[in-house]
């Protein structure tokens, strides 16, 4: 499955190397399906990992947050980051305890963030974040005003030093366990929308929006 | 909502402090519903964040992995870790772009791991990992042998320095936006099982197992 080389030694998949993928097409597809990423940064030698919404535009991954938040403060100062995105695709049920596994697609991005200071670009990213959640919605909602844009920091991280790891398919049991008397296979998992909860006051006749990639039935 | 104090300054929720929760009952409930955690560690000043299966037993969170993996190597050496667990509960669709949000429950655990070396305890954690995915299954599958247990490292991290952050409920729009002509509300999200994929050869008459907490319809 891995027909490319890693962009750096530190992003090379070492454990089960044939699960590594380094082609940007695959990496982008994983990022585009993810709603949330986990951002790692270091403060006084202690790692911190914070979840936040993300959106990819071209060859950058963007996050945003209150300018005063710990995550944004650290990320905006140019410190080294690790952003990890994980899609859990299913539970792999083997005949042996040891060969139980998960099917997943994950991406690890190493790099430094740049603070998006251009007001136009900042608006574009804010729009993309709304569009990622519900395509077309940015046209329907009240656009951000200057105060709101000022309170929010937007950060972009290049995807140049990134790698993906993927497991697909059924259980891989030892030959001698194949007749073990237990169900074996995969139960796929998907993030699925539930019945919408209407806010009050509701605009009469407004329709529930369709969500973005990976969030629909 | 927050009627307790954080166990340390560095786990105190600073941004929107009334979303912080420090009671272990709540923290444990989030951990017990999560399938995967994100483990952050530092290597030569660079943070790394890796996803892995987790299970809570009493006041510790356990992970496991190949003894040779980068994550396990770092974690087992007693370096400071941050383990973050995130449950995405829904998309919050406001009338203004700025007030869009996610409903979520997340937990951040700071600490050092201990390597579980006692063979009996190691087996207990391995059992708990299978049980977490599919309750009752550890009795049905072929138990791990000595070679398999040796190839796997099990690590426990105490939950003493941990905090949760939670957002629930509908959009919180500005008063002057409440009549904006767009649908507003929450679309809850849940990780849901899909049609099982049967592995071959399949044991005749074996039934598809019910999955653990947070993984069923």
Dihedral sign computed on CA atoms, order B7, B10, B12, B13: negative
Note whether A134 contacts B50, CB cutoff 8 Å. Answer: no
CATH number, domain containing residue B122? 2.30.110.10
Q: How many CB pairs under 8 A join A and B?
A: 301
Q: Which domain holds residue A32?
A: 9-174+183-188
- In which residue ranges of chain A is pLDDT below 70? 1-3
Tokens of B144: 């791990």
ipTM of the complex: 0.96
Note whether B48 contacts A82, CB cutoff 8 Å. Answer: yes
- Alpha-carbon distance B134 to A90, whole Å? 12
For A11-51, write each residue's pLDDT tens digit.
999 888 999 999 999 999 999 999 999 999 999 999 999 99
- Answer whether residue A38 is part of any domain: yes
Residue to substitute from B34, B36, B191, B199, interface A, most A β-carbons within 10 A: B199
Cis peptide before B9 (omega within 30 of 0): no
Contact A133, B91 (CB under 8 A): yes
Tokens of A63: 């996050």
Triad A88, B116, B160: Cα angle to 5° = 75
- Answer whether residue B185 is part of any domain: no
H helices within A90-179, ranges in order? 119-133, 146-151
Total Cβ atoms within 10 A of residue A141: 25
- Answer whether residue A46 is part of any domain: yes
- Answer whether residue B199 is part of any domain: no
- Answer whether residue B63 is part of any domain: yes
Cα A95 from chain centroid (whole Å): 31
Chain B residues with CB under 8 Å of A100 CB are: 129-130, 133, 141
Q: Name residues whose C-beta falls within 8 Å of residue A93's C-beta, 6 or more positions apart in sequence.
A: A100, A171, A183, A184, A185, A186, A187, B133, B134, B137, B209
- What's the total number of domains in chain B? 1
- Answer whether residue B154 is part of any domain: yes
- Alpha-carbon distance A87 to B26, whole Å? 25
- Answer whether residue B95 is part of any domain: yes
Cis peptide before A201 (omega within 30 of 0): yes
Burial class (CB in 10 A: 0-12, 13-18, 19+), A155: buried
Q: Would you give per-residue pLDDT tens digits along chain B (217 residues)?
A: 444 789 999 999 988 899 999 999 999 999 999 999 999 999 999 999 999 999 999 999 999 999 889 899 999 999 999 999 999 999 999 999 999 999 999 999 999 999 999 999 999 999 999 999 999 999 999 999 999 999 999 999 999 999 999 999 999 999 999 999 999 999 999 999 999 999 999 999 999 999 999 999 8
């Amino acid at each position: 499955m891995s027909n490319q080389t890693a962009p750096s030694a530190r992003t090379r998949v070492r454990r089960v190397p044939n699960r590594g993928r380094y082609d940007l097409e695959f990496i982008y597809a994983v990022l585009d399906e993810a709603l949330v990423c986990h951002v790692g940064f270091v403060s006084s030698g202690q790692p911190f990992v914070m979840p936040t919404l993300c959106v990819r535009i071209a060859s950058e991954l963007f996050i945003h947050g209150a300018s005063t938040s710990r995550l944004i403060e650290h990320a905006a100062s140019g410190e080294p980051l690790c952003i990890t995105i994980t899609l859990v695709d299913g539970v792999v049920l083997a005949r042996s305890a040891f060969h139980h596994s998960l099917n997943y697609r994950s991406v690890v991005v190493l790099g430094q963030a740049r603070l998006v200071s251009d007001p136009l670009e900042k608006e574009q990213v804010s729009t993309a974040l709304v569009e990622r959640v519900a395509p077309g919605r940015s046209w329907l909602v009240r656009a951000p005003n200057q105060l709101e844009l000022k309170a929010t920091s937007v950060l972009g991280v290049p995807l140049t030093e990134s790698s993906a790891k993927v497991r697909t398919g059924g259980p891989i049991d030892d030959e001698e366990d194949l007749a073990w008397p237990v169900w074996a296979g995969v139960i796929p998992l998907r993030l699925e929308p539930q019945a919408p909860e209407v806010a009050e006051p509701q605009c009469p006749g407004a329709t529930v929006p369709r969500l973005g990639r990976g969030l629909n039935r």
